[in-house]
Amino acid sequence: MTTNKGCNRAGDLIEAVPSVLIAVVTVLTAAVVWRASVLSSEATGADRQGVINTLKAAAAKAQNLAYLYQQEADLAQSHVLLRAQIDYLRGRAEEFAASADGAAVAASLNSEADALLLADEGTVASTPLVAEKRYRREDNTFDFDVRLQDIAAENPDLAALDPEQDFAQADRLDDKGLHLALTVIIFALALFALTLAQITRRRIRWLFLSVGVIVTVAAVFTAAGLELFFRQVV
C-alpha cells in the first residue's frame, strides 16, 4: 500500500509539473506584456515632450528674432544714420571753418554734431549689437546670426531644449517595446508545448515538456537581453 501511495504521489507531482510551468509562463508573459505597455506609454510621453519642446524652442526663437530686429536692429540703424549725419556735419563744419566769415556756422555745425554724438554714444552703450566689435563684419555691416546665437545662449533653459533628442528617445523606447512584445510569441510557443505536455499521457509528453522548458528559458533570456541592450543604448 505504501509503495502504491508513493507512486501515486510521484505521479501526481509529475502531472502537476506542466500545470505549474504553464502558470509560470503565463505570469512571465503577462509581465512582458505589461513592460511593453509601460515602454509604449513612456515613448508616447517622450514624443509629447518633444512636441512641447519644439513649440517652446520655436516660440523662444521667434521672441529672440523679434527682440533682435525690432529693438537692437532699429538702434543699430539709428546708430548708422547718426554716424552718417555726424560725419556730414563735421565735413560741412570744416568747409565753413576754412572761410573767414564761416567760423560761427562751423561752430554751430560742430555743436549739432556733438549733440548727435552724445545721443549716439547712449545708443552704443546700451546696444551690444553696436557696441561689441564681434558683431561687425569686415564690410562694417552687423552680423545678426552671431548676435542671435548669443541672445539664445543667455537663456540656458531654452538653449538646452533638444526636441530631436526627445524624439530619438521616443523611437528607442518604441523599438524596445516592440522587441519585447515580439518575445510574447516565444512565450506562446512555450505555452503551446507545455499544454501538449499536459494533455499527453505517453512518453512523448517529456519531449513536449523539455521543449516548453527550453523555449521558456530562451524567451526569458531574450527579454532580459533586450532590457540590458536597450538600457545601454538609451
pLDDT in tens, 32-61: 999 999 989 999 999 999 999 888 888 888
Question: In the chain, pLDDT over 90 holds for what percent of residues?
Answer: 20
- The CA-to-CA distance between both ends of the chain, in Å, stands at 63
> How confident is the model at residue 26, as a pLDDT?
92
> How confident is the model at residue 7, as a pLDDT?
47
Average pLDDT over residues 97-120: 84
Q: What is the dihedral of CA 25, 31, 37, 41, to 10 degrees?
A: -170
Average pLDDT over residues 106-131: 84
195-201 long-range contacts (CB < 8 A, ≥24 apart) are 195/18, 195/22, 197/18, 198/18, 198/19, 198/22
pLDDT in tens, 107-118: 888 889 888 888
pLDDT at 8 over 70: no
The per-residue pLDDT of the chain, averaged, comes to: 84
> How confident is the model at residue 192, as a pLDDT?
92
**pLDDT interval class at 6 (50, 70, 90):** very low
Residue 223 and residue 185 in contact, taking contact as beta carbons nearer than 8 Å: no
Question: In the chain, pLDDT over 70 holds for what percent of residues?
Answer: 91
Pick the range with the lowest mean pLDDT from 73-82, 123-132, 189-198, 218-227. 123-132
Question: Which residues fall within 8 angstroms of residue 40, CB to CB, at 6 or more apart?
Answer: 173, 174, 177
Domain ranges for the chain, please list them: 2-233
pLDDT at 4 over 80: no
Pick the range with the lowest mean pLDDT from 112-116, 157-161, 167-171, 183-187. 157-161
**pLDDT interval class at 2 (50, 70, 90):** very low
0.75 cut: is pTM over it?
no
